């Protein structure tokens, strides 16, 4: 059994490539070539069946929604509701980041019910199962546990995994040389940092990377190279620590491709607006055009409660300049576990960002969609307008609740509608 990358390297267009190409309105042969080059990935475990989607250069910007329990709140039905809401409002994938309850049972249910790609962070599962004292000076995990968990999740059908392989002993020494405002904000990154500091050993995910590649090749699991040393605030953005990890990510991209394993690269979560373009271009250059998966990025640290808006601003800019996959940010970011409504708001905000970038990048499907909506708006054809809106549900509700729900003109301008006046005068 070959991976999608190995098939592409042989010039074989798979049924999954045909599905993904149809979704994005591109040629299957072109997509096959993009996957072969590593500029696109098609995350789909051999043990799962769903309509495939591809991520990468020349394709529509995809959106991911994080769901999952915590040690303080664990209701699997609630998480499945979040999954359904995320998919309903347009998420292309979900990540199960559960850390509370029966983690394998939860993941199994998510995989069973999800009609889209599913991602995980295996180190969460390993560490969440342990009862470790906060001041423990011992390693948080046995490396064998992580490799076992990676293979277990691969067998279960996980399509892509965030693995913090690019943190090394060298980068930790480098990290301790520089002062950061918020230190390490990645949960996986902090766990690897503690492992290296308490044991003096190398990061096993880096040291035994070839072992990971063997597992991922066997099940066609796409690696998402985690950015464990990403900046957690604007003041830390694009510092030497972030860039040092990026260089290692670039090395690991090449090693994965050489083994026939699909790979994408994770990017920053916090970054001032004026630095995003430069950072995206740098990431693309260092990682040889690999698809970029970014959290937001948040353009301000002061938008708690509205971080989905800050994330959408950053995401639109990032996707205009190279990001291919946006991890949503919800209004609950930095505050609490998101509710189902938070999930909806996060997905919609990220989809607006993704679509805005697709329009800016001239993707035909996005441009045509907006053109048709504008033509319907000029014709005052409300039914057609709703057909082309990214989230028509709220728009229909607001229009129906207004006093002019049976009129051609909305209550904003009424009979003074500018387009009505123009057409009467023009004609």
148 vs 95: CA distance, rounded Å: 20
Low-confidence ranges of the chain (pLDDT < 70): 130-139, 403-407
**pLDDT for the residue 263:** 98
81 vs 65: CA distance, rounded Å: 13
HSE, CB side, 13 Å, CA atoms: give it for residue 409.
Answer: 11
What percent of the chain is modeled with pLDDT above 70?
Answer: 96
Task: Find the angle CA(321)-CA(324)-CA(328) to the nearest 5 degrees.
Answer: 105
234 vs 226: CA distance, rounded Å: 19
Cβ atoms of residues 103 and 80 within 8 Å: no
Work out whether strand 160-163 and strand 222-225 pair parallel, antiparallel, or are unpaired.
Answer: parallel
- Regarding pTM above 0.85, the answer is yes
DSSP secondary structure string for all residues of 76-102: HHHHHHHHHHHHHTT-SEEEE---SS-
**pLDDT for the residue 43:** 98
**pLDDT for the residue 420:** 81
CATH number attached to the domain at 61-362: 3.20.20.540
80 vs 360: CA distance, rounded Å: 34
**pLDDT for the residue 103:** 95
363 vs 184: CA distance, rounded Å: 36
Q: Which residues in 131-147 are b (16+ Cβ under 10 Å) and which e?
A: eeeeeeeebbbebebbb
The Cα-based distances of 45 to 117, 179, 252, 265, 416 in angstroms read 9, 41, 21, 18, 56
Q: Containing H/E element for 319?
A: helix 307-320
* Residue spans per domain, the chain: 61-362, 365-426
**pLDDT for the residue 148:** 97
Q: pLDDT tens digit string along 144-174?
A: 999 999 999 999 999 999 999 999 999 888 8
Cβ atoms of residues 212 and 150 within 8 Å: yes
DSSP for residue 165: T
Residue 222 neighbours by CB distance under 10 Å? 26
Encoded tokens for 127: 């560490």
**pLDDT for the residue 133:** 47
């Amino acid at each position: 059994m070959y991976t999608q990358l190995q098939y592409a390297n042989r010039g074989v267009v798979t049924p999954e490539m045909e599905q993904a190409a149809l979704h994005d309105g591109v040629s299957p042969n072109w997509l096959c070539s993009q996957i072969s080059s590593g500029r696109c990935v098609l995350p789909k475990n051999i043990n799962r069946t769903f309509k495939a989607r591809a991520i990468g250069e020349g394709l529509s910007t995809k959106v991911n929604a994080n769901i999952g329990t915590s040690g303080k709140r664990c209701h699997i039905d609630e998480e499945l509701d979040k999954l359904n809401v995320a998919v309903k409002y347009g998420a292309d994938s979900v990540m199960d980041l559960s850390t509370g309850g029966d983690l394998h049972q939860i993941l199994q249910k998510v995989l069973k019910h999800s009609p889209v790609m599913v991602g995980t962070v295996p180190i969460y599962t390993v560490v969440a199962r342990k009862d470790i004292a906060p001041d423990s000076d011992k390693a948080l995990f046995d490396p064998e546990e992580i490799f076992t968990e990676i293979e277990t999740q691969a067998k279960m059908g996980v399509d892509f995994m965030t693995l913090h392989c690019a943190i090394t002993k060298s980068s930790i020494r480098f990290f301790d040389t520089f002062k950061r405002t918020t230190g390490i904000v990645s949960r996986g990154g902090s766990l690897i940092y503690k492992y290296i500091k308490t044991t003096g050993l190398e990061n096993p995910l880096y040291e035994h990377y070839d072992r990971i590649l063997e597992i991922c090749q066997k099940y066609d699991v796409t690696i998402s190279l985690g950015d464990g040393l990403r900046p957690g605030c604007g003041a830390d953005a694009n510092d030497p620590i972030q860039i040092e990890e990026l260089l290692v990510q670039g090395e690991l991209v090449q090693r994965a491709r050489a083994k026939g394993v699909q790979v994408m690269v994770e990017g920053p979560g916090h970054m001032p607006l004026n630095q995003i373009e430069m950072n995206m271009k740098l990431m693309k250059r260092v990682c040889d055009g690999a698809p970029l998966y970014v959290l937001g990025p948040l353009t301000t640290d002061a938008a708690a409660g509205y971080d989905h808006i800050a994330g959408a601003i950053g995401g639109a800019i990032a996707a205009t300049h190279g990001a291919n996959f946006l991890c949503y940010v919800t209004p609950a970011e930095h505050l609490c576990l998101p509710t189902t409504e938070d999930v909806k708001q996060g997905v919609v905000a990220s989809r607006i960002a993704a679509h805005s970038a697709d329009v800016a990048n001239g993707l035909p499907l996005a441009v045509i969609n907006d053109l048709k909506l504008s033509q319907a708006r000029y014709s005052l054809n409300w039914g057609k307008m709703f057909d082309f809106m990214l989230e028509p549900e709220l728009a229909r509700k607001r229009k129906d609740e207004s006093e002019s729900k049976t009129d051609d003109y909305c209550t904003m301008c009424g009979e003074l509608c500018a387009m009505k006046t123009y057409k009467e005068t023009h004609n």
